[in-house]
Structure 1
């Protein structure tokens, strides 16, 4: 099985101190948890497929399917995935709808109809807009790409259930409105992604 290159999201003392200063409640949780490492996948295509696999399923299920894909399909590249049948992709443990979506995106990128590298030159809003032109890619998937591949600094995803759950736990809320969420998101800015890393961690405690 080919090893996929990964690294940790880069942040340090300066970012932590800033977030602690704007939100003492989050700051206290950060102090208690210490440095939380977030694994990212720098390769944009691999990260995109990983994000699609992760749509609406648990972290554990993602790990199982992702391992199986690497074992059964080999290299997670546009050319290789485009050459696989939808049945072969589905056999890794996902729905046929998701398998067809992955196959179609691989074809689009392999044929040069969509240039992933161009995303690096775009703003966060533009990256989301461009990725959402791909079949099966919604805002959540695009936001996961911004954090988990591109290391953009200010992403807090309303569409991510775990982030919302982490916020509710942190502030002792039984539910959270979009307005409350936006208030916290703006408070964390311009370092929302680092806040998100801690909110994910809190949601699984």
Structure 2
């Protein structure tokens, strides 16, 4: 009887931990890549345009409205389709973009780091839309792709916790509401 109760307790603990882990993982997937397009430009290079929906948590939006800039890291790779994990990417780009609220002017600002000036917006919604717009990002030149191979563009984005002010970081590391990312999304790229 005692063994059965102990086993039931352990099973309940394990299921509870698993449920907490799954809900934390689900909470961490708040960003979504809505659209991704690639095109060949006149100079013989591939360019990427994308639209990302940044659905920040209530805690992150409250911090933003209180003057804390939020930085997202956009990671873009071009890889051979079916490439092994250890194979090098043909292109590996990391863009850091930020959004901040300026209380004196009552405006939101979106910019690409290392710049500190960018586009200004009256509403938070318009600024978040602009944060998610990637336009004509140079990926690589077309001569790096073999005509007989298939390739894919991979993109993911995540809130960069290390860019938060130091007093906010411990809480951001511990709370699932701050672990915001999109996970990898893939699209075919054909030469």
**Structure of larger gyration radius:** 2
- Structure-2-length-normalised TM-score: 0.25
Bigger share in strand: 2
Bigger share in helix: 1
Which protein, 1 or 2, shows the higher relative CO under an 8 Å CA cutoff with sep ≥ 6?
2
- Structure-1-length-normalised TM-score: 0.24
